[in-house]
Amino acid sequence: MVPKDEIAGKYKRFGCKVLLVGEYLVLNGWSSLAMPYDTFGGGLELNGGDQAEFSWNHLVDFLIEKDIPLNFTELKKDLSSGLVFRANIPMGYGLGSSGALVASLYDAYHTTSIQNLNDLKLILARMESFFHGQSSGIDPLVILANQGVLLTPERAISVNIHHELLKNWYLLDSGISRSSTAFIKHYREELYPHHTSEITNLAAHNGALIELLTQGATNGQDQSGIWRAISEIQLTLFSKMIPQHIQEVWQRGLETDAYYMKLCGAGGGGFFLLYNNQNELPENIHLLKL
């Protein structure tokens, strides 16, 4: 569990996380797949000056109340010496900005070494709930473990992702930050109860994509075909989660078969995922190689 880039001393640089497959459907017990992504990241620093985004004192009090196994004596001493968290992870983009902070704190100050991913996820979820009110713990877990994680209804499993299969994957920047709360509410109240057949169909394609990325093969389906199926279903089913200017780009890809798009997390803004099918990427949009 050691990230590539270390900051001098006891602090390490952590990347962020990308949810590759499984947005929303994970709420109903289907699997999801996430991986670390080091284009963006951050870490703790001493003597960094003020940090106004939140109150460290409130966070520390919260973690003590939650009985998190951290060395609070050492943490408070470092806070008095100017401890801050510096990161370039876009906030409101679904990349795990709070998860990176939680992973950094746990890595630097934990008093108990926990190897079991499921036990670790529970602790990290309690920590991250300071920021979100409720957390699955998957963001800080993927970031801290620095490896692919398959989240099933029963447990979190460390997996090897076939990165050569991600060579045509991109992140498309919508230019909009968002909060996931309203979109999750829309899914729970409007979509899942009334569109179970479409959602079950989407879950089957998601499962095939997870199988491909983790095992390198599926039952006769190629990646392009899986992507197109997911893209078609999501454009219709999750239209409220896709800004209008992104819908236009999304539709062009389906019409030309040049590329296909899907959500990357909750949608509404932040990043979307794009699969380059014919080396004809759309113009005038901001793409990052995954």
Same domain for 137 and 19: yes
Same domain for 154 and 21: yes
- The residue segments making up the domain with residue 275 are 163-289
At 7 the pLDDT is 40
Q: Write the single-letter amino acid at 90.
A: P
Same domain for 147 and 213: no
Same domain for 149 and 48: yes
Q: What is the CATH number of the domain that holds 127?
A: 3.30.230.10
> Final residue of a domain: which of 143, 159, 175?
159
Q: Is the dihedral of CA 101, 36, 27, 243 positive or negative?
A: positive
Q: What is d(CA 80, CA 97) in angstroms, rounded to the nearest whole number?
A: 23
State pLDDT tens for residues 176-210: 988 888 888 888 888 888 888 898 999 999 999 99
Q: What is d(CA 204, CA 194) in angstroms, rounded to the nearest whole number?
A: 18
Same domain for 120 and 246: no
> Final residue of a domain: which of 159, 176, 202?
159
Task: Provide mean pLDDT across the span 213-235.
Answer: 90
User: How much is the pTM?
Assistant: 0.89
Residues 6+ apart with CB under 8 A from 182: 268
Determine which of 48-57, 224-233, 258-267 has the lowest per-residue pLDDT on average.
48-57
Q: How confident is the model at residue 270 (pLDDT cuts 50, 70, 90)?
A: very high
Task: Provide mean pLDDT across the span 150-170.
Answer: 92
At 186 the pLDDT is 85
Same domain for 188 and 152: no
Q: Tell whether 237 is covered by a domain.
A: yes
CB 282 within 8 A of CB 259: yes
At 18 the pLDDT is 96
CB 233 within 8 A of CB 201: yes
At 212 the pLDDT is 95
Q: Two tokens at 230?
A: 């997911």
